[in-house]
Structure 1
Amino acid sequence: MESKEFIKKFSSKYLWGNILAMIAVIILLCAGLKFGLDLYTHHGQSILVPNLKGMQYENARRLLEDDGLRIEVSDSGYNKLLPADCILAQTPGTRDRVKSGHVIYVTVNSPHSPMIAIPDIIDNSSVREANAKLTAIGFRLLQPQLVHGEKDWVYGIVSRGRKLFAGDRVPVDIPLMLQIGDGKFDQGSSDVDYTDPSQSEGDQDEFQEVSGPDNNEAPAKKGNKEATKGGKIDESGINDY
């Protein structure tokens, strides 16, 4: 192909028209994509999250739906000073800005106090360790009850007059009382005298050893009279009078 023909085709209006049309299509596609994404993601638009703490769940739901937001319960807690179904916490927090349709996760107040299992602390820990474990999981402790035993050692747990054991599930708002040793375990008197026979000196056995009847001797006849005190017995077993 000669150079003149190549230049002539390159400068053709048809060729440049197609090139310009392709460029225009690409620009339109990019602009449409950007506009569509902005429209879909609500670019530049945000909603201020209201403070929901202390509100009833239904009231909070209506408030968020009016603002174009959604609500979902993610957890529950317990506060005896607040009514049931009251919102205790929220995520995102107050004054945060979110897009329309965003989900606000809330924690609501349970109508009943949670049941928590008693940890394995009975006869297994000191009073300091027991206090730390029980208060960490939310229990409230009363003044401990002293019992005979090793000082500051936990021997039991009592709640409302009932003895509890490891694994028992009780409401967390019920107070607990620890039974701890008073340190007088070794000072108490014992009713049993534990005497080591090997350490006793001069003790004599009060019992006398007697020999049994000779197997070769014939038993006394039933008709014989019982020997009187001080009487002699002959070889035949008959008393001498």
Structure 2
Amino acid sequence: MAFLSANSPLDVLKHLLLIVTVGALLVLGFFYVYLPMSTHHGETITVPKVTGMNLADLEDYLKQRNLAYFVDDSSYSPSIRPFTVLVQDPAPGEKVKEGRKIYLQVSMKNPPVIKMPNLTGGSSKNAMLILKSYDLVVGQIQLVPDMAAGSVLKQLVGGKEIAPGAPIAKGTRVDLVVADGQGNQTFAVPNLVNMPEDEAITLLVGQGLQKGEVFELPAEDGQTAGTVVRQRPVAGPDATIRMGQLVDIWVAK
């Protein structure tokens, strides 16, 4: 092979140029021909929407599209069918390579168990906010006679008291026993007629009653201005009232 013989410096230079050229072609072919063919360089897949689908249907659906999935989070909602896809990442419509994993958040079959919060002693309004924040359901509100108006006296599940810290599943219905602010003690209606207005109000407060509306009437013959001339409810031998109730009075001008 006369071409490969090195009889002169020019022949050596030719050989070196040939070696460099072949090496360059091999490098370029590896990066621009072999790698793109073996890795599908530049080929992408549009991520489909899988939210709302069930995991049982998802594996074949994504496998047909050369994609995979991984469940990395879960949450519970009683209104959503178990194992339903709630959130996906990447989002639908994004471009990804073949074989890319789609990370999912799915709904749980069973609700998680948490510790029952302490609602007793606080207001019923605050108790409802706490129940909502714990993903518990506000059940029946039962009013009972007690002077601590609006205060939660008991917390019940299934008709039985549940202690703070006891295990309870999210979504459980919790009933509340709440004070009505009136108490259960009944006694005779006090007679306020002919009493000065300030003394009548002091008497009401002292007996655990509340002042209602105060009306004014022109003083008639024999009536002293500033005294009570009428009341509701009216006092009498059989008239009773419960602690915390309102009493309206009419005062002479």
TM-score when normalising by structure 2:
0.57
Query: What's 2:193 paired with?
Result: none
Query: What's 1:111 paired with?
Result: 109
CA contact 1:122–1:165 (8 Å) conserved in 2 = no
Gaps of 5+ in 2: 1-7, 187-253
Q: CA RMSD of the aligned region, Å?
A: 3.1
Match of 1:139 among 113, 136, 141: 136
Other structure's SS at 2:120 match:
coil
Partners in 1 of 2:166 and 2:35 — Cα distance? Answer: 56
Match of 1:97 among 95, 98, 103: 95
Match of 1:76 among 74, 77, 83: 74
How far residue 62 of structure 1 moved from its aligned partner, in angstroms, is 0.6
Superimposed CA distance per residue, residues 36-88 of structure 1 (whole angstroms, 9 cap, x where no aligned partner)? 55445533212222222333322111111111111222233334344433333
> Radius of gyration: which is bigger?
1
**Percent of matched pairs sharing the same residue:** 25
Trace 1:1-241 onto structure 2 (pairs within 5 A): 12-15=10-13, 17-19=15-17, 21-22=19-20, 24-26=22-24, 28-39=26-37, 41-123=39-121, 125-147=122-144, 148-184=146-182
Partners in 2 of 1:155 and 1:41 — Cα distance? Answer: 68
Distance 1:62 1:20, change over 3 A: same
Distance 1:32 1:178, change over 3 A: same
CA contact 2:69–2:102 (8 Å) conserved in 1 = yes
Partners in 2 of 1:40 and 1:112 — Cα distance? Answer: 45
Structure 1 stretch displaced more, 58-67 or 40-49: 40-49
Partners in 1 of 2:11 and 2:151 — Cα distance? Answer: 101
TM-score when normalising by structure 1:
0.60
Amino acid at match of 1:101: G
Partners in 2 of 1:35 and 1:153 — Cα distance? Answer: 78
CA contact 1:149–1:180 (8 Å) conserved in 2 = no
CA contact 2:119–2:155 (8 Å) conserved in 1 = no
Partners in 2 of 1:36 and 1:136 — Cα distance? Answer: 57
Number of aligned residue pairs: give it. 178
Query: What's 1:231 paired with?
Result: none
Distance 1:182 1:16, change over 3 A: farther
How far residue 24 of structure 1 moved from its aligned partner, in angstroms, is 4.7
Partners in 2 of 1:13 and 1:126 — Cα distance? Answer: 101
Distance 1:98 1:181, change over 3 A: same
Amino acid at match of 2:123: S
Partners in 1 of 2:43 and 2:151 — Cα distance? Answer: 63
How far residue 170 of structure 1 moved from its aligned partner, in angstroms, is 1.9
Partners in 1 of 2:118 and 2:34 — Cα distance? Answer: 61
Structure 1 stretch displaced more, 41-50 or 20-29: 20-29
Distance 1:26 1:84, change over 3 A: same
Partners in 2 of 1:70 and 1:45 — Cα distance? Answer: 17
How far residue 188 of structure 1 moved from its aligned partner, in angstroms, is 5.6
Partners in 1 of 2:100 and 2:80 — Cα distance? Answer: 27
